[in-house]
Amino acid sequence: MVDLMLLLTDYGYISLFVTSFLASTILPLGSEGLLVLMVLGNFNVHSVVLVASIANFLGACTSYYIGLKGRTLLISKYMKISDKQLKRAEAYFGKYGAISLFFTWLPGIGDAIAVAGGVLHYSFSQFVIFVFLGKLFRYAAVAYFAIQI
């Protein structure tokens, strides 16, 4: 455990940034475990939440851009977003509008919602607001529950 904490002390925020970014793009990663480990390892909770939120948000922006440019090969092959998931995300947009962007933090459909935002040429300014708030909510909730343990 000492070696892990030493590694986190040296590369914690960088590792969290990279993991959180990739978790919101092409790789099926989860960044919550690292966030919890850092919170329990006495890292600054606000900094941890902010780094993870910004990185995950930037990953979602990458997904939006991929959707915007219509790179279906990346969407289906590398991001592993099925046509069914994408159609479901588009249905959310049709029904709930911009508020659906808040739910990009959800596992299973969150990446598809970000891609669908791009595919549908949704307003990037609204995308930025709702997606960042959703990501911030997600990581703040994970950190809060980690502290309660």
Predicted confidence at residue 59, as pLDDT, reads 94
Sign of CA dihedral 113, 115, 119, 123: positive
Higher per-residue pLDDT: 88 or 61: 61
- What digits encode the pLDDT tens for the residues 134-147? 999 999 999 999 99
Phi-psi domain of 43 (left: phi exceeds 0; alpha: psi -120 through 50; beta: other): beta
Q: Decide: 86 and 92 in contact? Cβ < 8 Å.
A: no
Residue type, 51: V
Digit-coded pLDDT (tens) for 87-125 = 887 787 778 878 889 988 887 778 888 888 888 888 999
Query: Does the pLDDT value for residue 49 go beyond 70?
Result: yes
Q: From the centroid of its chain, how far is CA 119?
A: 18
- Cα 13 from Cα 78, distance rounded (Å): 26
pLDDT at position 143, please? 96
Cα-flanking dihedrals φ and ψ of residue 25, to 5°? -125, -110
130 has pLDDT over 90: yes
Q: Is the pLDDT of residue 15 over 80?
A: yes
